[in-house]
Chain A
């Protein structure tokens, strides 16, 4: 059974700092990996999707990388802002299914002004 782990569970940084969120998965036979943002009590906003054949994806201040062989993905946020405060979830598609997303528990990020 695919398991997805996110470390750390919570992170607090001062505004302007660059930071990295980590995601690991047990089954490397994935189709892709997706990063989401979730604000308190809200739904999920897709940030980046990395296909299994890709190494990284970038969108604005966000950069996500994927290393299938080691079962790891990272989300890099540059020049963090208080508006980046949210829970960040990673999810992979694989483990025998080409449509189910398996999620980690998320990292709660707080960016202090």
Chain B
């Protein structure tokens, strides 16, 4: 595709439920990033994939959060036992190879609301 896509665009769930957020990076990009943006704040790093492996998951807030990228393309961010504090915009980005000189291209985000 032409850009990074994310689905769904909006997700409303109840406290305690499980959710999955999907990211399709730009074709050919091996590096994929997830960020979380709370209202009125800048995005905060969650996890970085290089190919199929999570090179850095230090930003995941706790063990309820998990992400996969089994074939090195699409990634899914999974949140178990959702809490109201998980409500935020979840942003995915990709870049060509993960090099420090590269631009990260962001998707439109998934807005998660936990009631």
A interface residues with partner B (beta carbon < 8 Å): 4, 31-32, 34, 36, 41-46, 49, 51, 89, 91, 93, 97-106
Distance A11 CA – B96 CA, assembled complex (angstroms) = 35
Question: Taking A101-B43, A103-B43, A104-B42 as contacts, is the C-beta distance between A42 and B101 under 8 angstroms?
Answer: no
Contacts of A51 in B (CB 8 A): 101
Question: Taking A43-B108, A43-B109, A44-B106 as contacts, is the C-beta distance between A99 and B100 under 8 angstroms?
Answer: yes
Q: How far is the CB of A28 from chain B (nearest CB, A)?
A: 15
Seed contacts A89-B42, A105-B41, A106-B42; 16 additional CB < 8 Å A-B pairs: A32-B101, A43-B6, A43-B106, A44-B106, A46-B103, A46-B105, A51-B101, A93-B100, A98-B100, A99-B31, A99-B33, A99-B48, A100-B59, A101-B43, A105-B40, A105-B42
| A-facing residues in B11-44 (Cβ within 8 Å) | 31, 33, 35, 40-44
Contacts of B35 in A (CB 8 A): 101
| A-facing residues in B93-115 (Cβ within 8 Å) | 93, 98-101, 103-109, 111
**CB nearest to A94 among chain B residues:** B100
Contacts of B45 in A (CB 8 A): 100-102
Task: Answer yes or no: B79 CB below 8 A from chain A CBs.
Answer: no
> Do A41 and B111 touch (CB < 8 A)?
yes
**CB nearest to A48 among chain B residues:** B103
> Do B106 and A46 touch (CB < 8 A)?
yes
Contacts of B105 in A (CB 8 A): 46
Distance A89 CA – B89 CA, assembled complex (angstroms) = 15
> Do A36 and B106 touch (CB < 8 A)?
yes
Distance A75 CA – B14 CA, assembled complex (angstroms) = 41
Q: How far is the CB of B89 from chain A (nearest CB, A)?
A: 8
Distance A9 CA – B81 CA, assembled complex (angstroms) = 34
> Do A32 and B109 touch (CB < 8 A)?
no
Distance A49 CA – B103 CA, assembled complex (angstroms) = 7
Q: How far is the CB of A5 from chain B (nearest CB, A)?
A: 10
Q: How far is the CB of B49 from chain A (nearest CB, A)?
A: 10
Q: How far is the CB of B14 from chain A (nearest CB, A)?
A: 22
